[in-house]
Amino acid sequence: MSRHLHAEWTKLRTLPDTGRLLLAIVVLTVAVGVAASAVVSCSPAACGHDPAKVIFFGVQVSQAVVAVLAVLAITGEYDTGMIRLTLAAMPRRTGVLAAKAITLAGVTLITGSVAVLASALSAPRILLGNGFPAETLVLTSAPMLRAAAGSVLYLTLIALFGLGVATVVRDSATAVGVVLGLLYLFPALILMVADAGWQRLLWQISPMNAGLAVQATTDLATLPLGPWTALSVPAAWAAAALLGGGLSFRMRDV
């Protein structure tokens, strides 16, 4: 496995767009979080905003870049024909895909941690000036730590989901379209459906709605699923995508 991991790390870091995409993940996460913090405010009587969701709002945007990175991690090899050389040198396909998943997850964990930490250090100062109570902005509190760690894990799961979809589809544009469609389609459907039961069901199976519930620090009783339980929804999507990708990878000639 060490040989597989070394090869996949070499390929990922030498992709032309990897550096730019990793930088974009950090910049978008921080910039959107800061922008969101600048446009919300709390009155002295009550506050209708969850501070953690505002601080880490940029994750909703940067997840699209994570998906693109994940897709390119494998479709780039199909585009250049390098996949044939990869399989000739390492014919054990499950090992190749597992190494890709581990490498991608590690890179996303590190980049996501930097992005989330930068957001956590910059946005709360703006919220404090906009009337948010100081006690809700304590970064070392259990709810805030869960929101931060959960945001990083969510981005990692989106990366694995994207890798699985791309392994099945093998086309960059199609794979990105499928992943982003599944991420952003459910929130739109929830807004269009009037029935409360259907809204709840769509929320519970939505990788984005359920996954980002891990950021919630207020009104937890109103959530259809608890924060950590809800994070299992994108985990299930990622597992299903990787399973499908693994089966497809093994059954095809290339």
Task: Judge whether residue 254 has pLDDT over 70.
Answer: no
The tens digit of pLDDT for each residue in 94-149 reads 888 999 999 999 999 999 999 999 999 999 999 999 989 888 899 999 999 999 99
Q: What is the pLDDT of residue 10?
A: 87
Domain count, the chain: 1
Contact 107, 116 (CB under 8 A): no
Res 158 pLDDT > 80: yes
Per-residue b/e over 234-243, b at no fewer than 16 CB within 10 Å? bbebbeebbe
**In contact, 93 and 86? CB cutoff 8 Å:** no
E-strand ranges in the chain read none
pLDDT of residue 115: 98
Provide the domain limits for residue 36: 2-251
Which of 30-34, 62-66, 93-97, 214-218 shows the lowest per-residue confidence on average (mean pLDDT)?
A: 93-97
Mean confidence (pLDDT) of the chain: 92
Confidence at residue 72, expressed as pLDDT on a 0 to 100 scale: 94
The answer for residues whose C-beta is within 8 angstroms of residue 94's C-beta and 6 or more apart is 246, 249, 250
Q: Closest Cα to residue 26, out of 125, 98, 116?
A: 116
User: In the block, which residue shows the tokens 């396909």?
Assistant: 93
